[in-house]
Amino acid sequence: MTAHADTDADADAETATDGREAGGVAVTDRQLDGLVDAAGEGVEFDGLSAWHDETGYGLAVPGEEHAGLDEAAFRAAAAELPAHLTNWYTWQLSIDYPSEPDRSVGAGRHYRAFLRWLEYAPTPSTPAWEETRDVEARYEALAREAGVVRHWGDLRIAVRLDEHGGRSYEVRHVDDVDVPAAELEHHHDPLDARAIGRLDDRGRYRPLRTAPSLATGWVFPALDPRDAVETVETFYPATVANWHLERAGELDVTHWAETAGRQTGIYGIVDELDAGAVDRIAASCCVDSQCHKRREWEFDDDRDLDADPGDGPFPCREPCSLVVAAARKWTTLEREEPRTYEFELTPSEKEQLEAIVDAAADDRTDEIREADVYEGANRYRTRYLRAKLFDEDGNLCGTPTEPETHDDHGDHGDHGDE
Amino acid sequence: MSQALVIVAHGSHLNPDSSAPTHAHADRIREAAAFDEVRTGFWKEEPSLREVLRTVEADEIYLVPLFISEGYFTEQVIPRELRLEGWDVSQWDSDGLSADHVTLTAADTGQAVHYCGPVGTHESMTEVLVRRAETVTEDPDVGPGFGLAVVGHGTERNENSAKAIEYHADRVRETGRFDEVQALFMDEEPEVDDVTDYFDSPDVVVVPLFVADGFHTQEDIPEDMGLTDDYRTGYDVPATVDGHELWYAGAVGTEGLMAEVILERAADAGADVDEAMERVRERTKLAGGDGASEGGAGSPSDAADGADPEADADSDSESGEAATAR
């Protein structure tokens, strides 16, 4: 079990338990005090009931009920139910995010639902088809060394119990699942995730935080609930809120046409693109190989896109700024009319050009070995092709892009055309 | 009631350092414990302007734009993207420099948002310009024998951009601290290219009024002033040009004291931040030239300078397009 600071441990004497339900969880006087106080108002939470009426204190969990107790007996009975007691304490007193549907404004309810989901605990917004577990089953899993594991994009989040039934969260890259923690760089401040997520493993800037290019080699070994949420939200901003809004049936999906229509300034032109072009954009930028978000936006209310929306846990509710910025470029490119060019290529040269496009589109050029001349996108093969087919101005087969001006090939149309 | 601060900035798809000052200021304000929550949102990074409010727990938010002037971003983009219901620029009742704050409701989250004017036009920004001069000269008493040039983009499309530059230049001049103070611009008269023509003082501190370092502050201005023929080879601070010593400070927005301007904006809108402001002032001062600012280093790509309000400072295609709009 991961060591975890718990202020309760310093403040309270521990009450011994036999640990039969909770993997050796030691309940604290503070937790028992809390339940005694709460019994007056009545407790109904995750299968635990506690009350205080004219006959005395009472306590019940599925299959077990104690009534008419004095306070000492009530405390003793509660201490015999460490999973239920500490589960109640953790969720109702320790984790200070508001329960839904207590408040509709503010992100706290999203964060609480996420933490509940991490350990398969039910929430009001849990869909009927999703697996949930009762307190005993959860504690049994949380008490294991591996803890309870969920994936969130490239993040692997393991929840474990601390000694007093609180929660400790380990966050690492899914690809580092088998790497001993000692070999990973340890972090404790959620904001460290900002720097970790800034560059990929090859040192390239990641403007899209949810791109599947998160660097490996780090671990947040023991976060408290609030820091766990902050860490996840720093790696993947706003994903928790959007995930929960979707589950609560409140996700505000904005389709392409509306997003494009409200753009101004240099992006005011993107509403020129037709559904076919938008479909190509979604297929190019928004599929799982490019972004972990699951696309929920379509062309408009009536026209869906054919591109694979992906199947990640968190939704994409609107075309992002990268898509809008790229769409601006495609808008200007799509304004061009096609022309007929004539190139003379061998069959292998045609196939090689196709292989080069494929390798660039799949970001695979770095993987092609230097001497692997059997790969069309191999550097030597590509250089040979260029030497053979390009003229001194870089024109394929000597064919100028513009028939009348030889020096205007390449990225024409990019400069000052608006 | 808990209070949250949201700082919104431009950000960049291309330059990994563009958002660094925004994050640094947010971290400083977190350390000063002024707010229960401090979040950042970006036009080009994440969380987006569109989604930042839904990451905030509080139901009352102070929203401060990390932009230099009033204009396209503060008047159109930010209110639109954050879905501030009922926004109309007339609510600021501004002459281009005096936008203060207005309280609106975010349509998607229901949060109450105190939408503040940009940091660049706040009067306390003048102090940051002076602090920047102290930082670059490593002299807390810099002034006598020195000239100060405040440099802006000065796009003709938005007069507010030039107004902010002249406003702060005037305010520094009124203090009498520097022998001479001059507002200069990149694309209009008086031009930064001719900086030495405007000063008699042997030493001149040059501070660009930009929120982050980027293409303009790291490439254009150093080359325009003749600090270097090629920005990639770097330049000296100070550098000798036409017999003057030019102390080029880089973007004022990287100065640690900027955090205080953000707090001032929130305070003007009713946030309770007095003690935190004192802490920020002390900490940025004690840190002196080391660590109080993010310095002038960064990648030579364009950044969130916010001084070209009509266009989009971080065009992701060619920079030539960045200046063309609509």
Q: Does B315 contact A207 at a Cβ distance shorter than 8 Å?
A: no
pLDDT at A114 over 80: yes
Beta bridge partners of A361: none
pLDDT at A195 over 50: yes
Kindly write down the DSSP assignment for every residue of A142-168, as one continuous string: HTSTT-EEEEETTEEEEEEE-TTS-EE
pLDDT at B1 over 80: no
Q: Does B46 contact A198 at a Cβ distance shorter than 8 Å?
A: no
Contact residues on chain B for A328, CB-CB shorter than 8 A: 316-317
* Contact status of A346 with chain B (Cβ, < 8 Å): no
Contact residues on chain B for A238, CB-CB shorter than 8 A: 46-48, 51-52, 54-55
**Helix (H/G/I), strand (E/B), else coil: A15:** strand
Contact residues on chain A for B10, CB-CB shorter than 8 A: none
A:B CB pairs within 8 Å: 112
Q: Does A266 contact B312 at a Cβ distance shorter than 8 Å?
A: yes
Angle formed by the axes of helices B125-137 and B159-175, nearest 10°: 70
In this prediction, residue B157 carries a pLDDT of 61
Contact residues on chain A for B43, CB-CB shorter than 8 A: 321
Domain A108-247 top-level CATH class: alpha beta
* Contact status of A418 with chain B (Cβ, < 8 Å): yes
Angle formed by the axes of helices A108-118 and A225-235, nearest 10°: 100
Our CA-based measurement puts residue A409 at a distance from the nearest CA of chain B, in whole angstroms, of: 16
* Contact status of A412 with chain B (Cβ, < 8 Å): no
Q: Does A106 contact B315 at a Cβ distance shorter than 8 Å?
A: no
- Give me the CATH topology for the region A256-334: Alpha-Beta Plaits (3.30.70)
Give yes or no for a contact between A284 and A322, defined as CB atoms under 8 angstroms apart.
no
Q: Does B57 contact A106 at a Cβ distance shorter than 8 Å?
A: yes
Contact residues on chain B for A317, CB-CB shorter than 8 A: 51
The tens digit of pLDDT for each residue in B209-268 reads 999 988 899 999 999 999 999 999 999 999 999 999 999 999 999 999 999 999 999 999
In this prediction, residue B299 carries a pLDDT of 33
The predicted complex's ipTM stands at 0.89
pLDDT at B293 over 60: no
Q: Does B55 contact A108 at a Cβ distance shorter than 8 Å?
A: no
Among B12, B56, B317, beta carbon nearest to A106? B56
Q: Where are the domains of chain A?
A: 7-94, 108-247, 256-334, 337-418
Give yes or no for a contact between B210 and B251, defined as CB atoms under 8 angstroms apart.
yes
Among A264, A266, A322, beta carbon nearest to B315? A266
pLDDT range class, residue B62, cuts 50, 70, 90: very high
Chain A residue nearest residue B326, CA to CA: A265
Among B13, B57, B318, beta carbon nearest to A325? B13
* Contact status of A331 with chain B (Cβ, < 8 Å): no
pLDDT at B296 over 50: no
DSSP single-letter state for residue A174: G
Our CA-based measurement puts residue B139 at a distance from the nearest CA of chain A, in whole angstroms, of: 32
Q: Does B111 contact A106 at a Cβ distance shorter than 8 Å?
A: yes
Both ends of chain B: CA-CA distance in Å?
A: 43
Contact residues on chain A for B108, CB-CB shorter than 8 A: 252
The tens digit of pLDDT for each residue in A205-235 reads 999 999 999 999 999 999 999 999 999 999 9
Q: What is the dihedral of CA B28, B34, B38, B44, to 10 degrees?
A: -60
What are the residue ranges of helices labelled H in B20-158?
A: 20-31, 78-81, 125-137
The helices-and-strands tally (H runs, E runs) of chain B is 9, 11
Greater confidence (A131 vs A5) lies with: A131
pLDDT range class, residue B34, cuts 50, 70, 90: confident
pLDDT range class, residue A304, cuts 50, 70, 90: very high
* Contact status of A224 with chain B (Cβ, < 8 Å): no
Q: Does A105 contact B111 at a Cβ distance shorter than 8 Å?
A: yes
Chain B residue nearest residue A318, CA to CA: B50
Q: Which of B6, B22, B30, B54 to mutate to test the interface with A (most CBs of A within 10 A)?
A: B54
Our CA-based measurement puts residue B244 at a distance from the nearest CA of chain A, in whole angstroms, of: 37
pTM value is 0.89
* Contact status of A326 with chain B (Cβ, < 8 Å): yes
pLDDT range class, residue B276, cuts 50, 70, 90: confident
Q: Does B13 contact A321 at a Cβ distance shorter than 8 Å?
A: yes
Q: Does A320 contact B110 at a Cβ distance shorter than 8 Å?
A: no
Beta bridge partners of A413: none
The tens digit of pLDDT for each residue in A130-184 reads 999 999 999 999 999 999 999 999 999 999 999 999 999 999 999 999 999 999 9
Count CB-CB contacts under 10 A for residue A248: 17
Letter string b/e over residues B194-220, b meaning 16 or more CB atoms within 10 A of that residue's CB: ebbebbebebbbbbbbbbbbbbbbbbb
In this prediction, residue B324 carries a pLDDT of 28
Both ends of chain A: CA-CA distance in Å?
A: 62
Listed by number, the residues of chain A in 231-270 with a beta carbon closer than 8 Å to a beta carbon of chain B are 233, 237-238, 240-242, 245, 252, 262, 264-268
In this prediction, residue B279 carries a pLDDT of 86
Continuous segment of H or E residues that includes residue A215: none
Q: Does B54 contact A241 at a Cβ distance shorter than 8 Å?
A: yes
Which of B251, B249, B305 lies closest to B118, judged by CA? B305
In this prediction, residue A112 carries a pLDDT of 96
In this prediction, residue A96 carries a pLDDT of 87
Q: Does B324 contact A242 at a Cβ distance shorter than 8 Å?
A: no
Domains of chain B: 4-121+257-287 (3.40.50.1400), 125-254 (3.40.50.1400)
Our CA-based measurement puts residue A71 at a distance from the nearest CA of chain B, in whole angstroms, of: 36
Q: Does B44 contact A318 at a Cβ distance shorter than 8 Å?
A: no
Side-by-side strand order, sheet with A43-45: A43-45, A48-53, A56-61, A64-69
User: Rounded mean pLDDT of chain B?
Assistant: 86
pLDDT at B320 over 90: no
Q: Does A266 contact B324 at a Cβ distance shorter than 8 Å?
A: yes
Give yes or no for a contact between B147 and B203, defined as CB atoms under 8 angstroms apart.
yes
